[in-house]
Amino acid sequence: MKVNLELAGDHFDGVFTLFRCKLERDEHSVSIYLSAEQMNAAEEHDDPFEAILGLQNILADSGFTILQTVTIENGDASTKELEFVDKFDGIIHEPFGESASIDINILDFGNIELASDAGYEFIIDCEQNEQEPTYIVESLKSIFNQK
C-alpha cells in the first residue's frame, strides 16, 4: 500500500524546520503537529527529518510505500530553499517489512502512541491538534486500513 507523507515547515537562512506532517491515503488524511521535543530532536541531530523518523520507520516496517512531499509554509525563497525542495520532494521510500498492523493507543493526557511489530514508536502530541484523539485514531485506522 502507498501512503502520502507531506512534510510542512519553514525554511530560513538555509535551515528547514519541520513542524507538521500530513498522512494521506485515498480520501483519508490526518495532520500531525510535532511537539517541541520532536522538533528539538531534529536540531540536536542536525537532521530536519529526525522528528518524524519513528513515523517513517513504522510505516516502512508495516509494509507501506511512502511518497514524501515537502511543503514550505514560510520561507526566504533562497537558492538553498529551492535546492532543499528539489532534493527532498517527491522521494519514494520503499517498505522494509511485510504488511503488518500498526498498534495505536491513546495515552494519558490524550496523546497517541503508534508502534510497529519491530518496536519502532512515534508519539502524536494531540495538544496542538484541533481534532479529538478519538477522531485522529479513527482517521489513522482508515489510513492504515485497520478497523
The x, y and z cell numbers of residue 18, run together, are 519541520
d(Cα 147, Cα 140) in Å, to the nearest integer?
Answer: 10
**Domain enclosing residue 64, as ranges:** 2-143
| pLDDT score for 64 | 96
| pLDDT score for 146 | 82
* Tens place of pLDDT per residue across the chain (147 aa): 899 999 999 999 999 999 999 999 999 999 999 999 999 888 888 899 999 999 999 999 999 999 999 999 999 999 999 999 999 999 999 999 788 999 999 998 889 999 999 999 999 998 877 788 999 999 999 999 886
Beta strand pairing status for 91-93 and 65-75? antiparallel
Tally of domains within the chain: 1
Task: Judge contact between 11 and 19, C-beta under 8 A.
Answer: no
Q: What are phi and psi of 137, to 5 degrees?
A: -60, -45
pTM equals: 0.92
Task: Judge contact between 14 and 75, C-beta under 8 A.
Answer: no
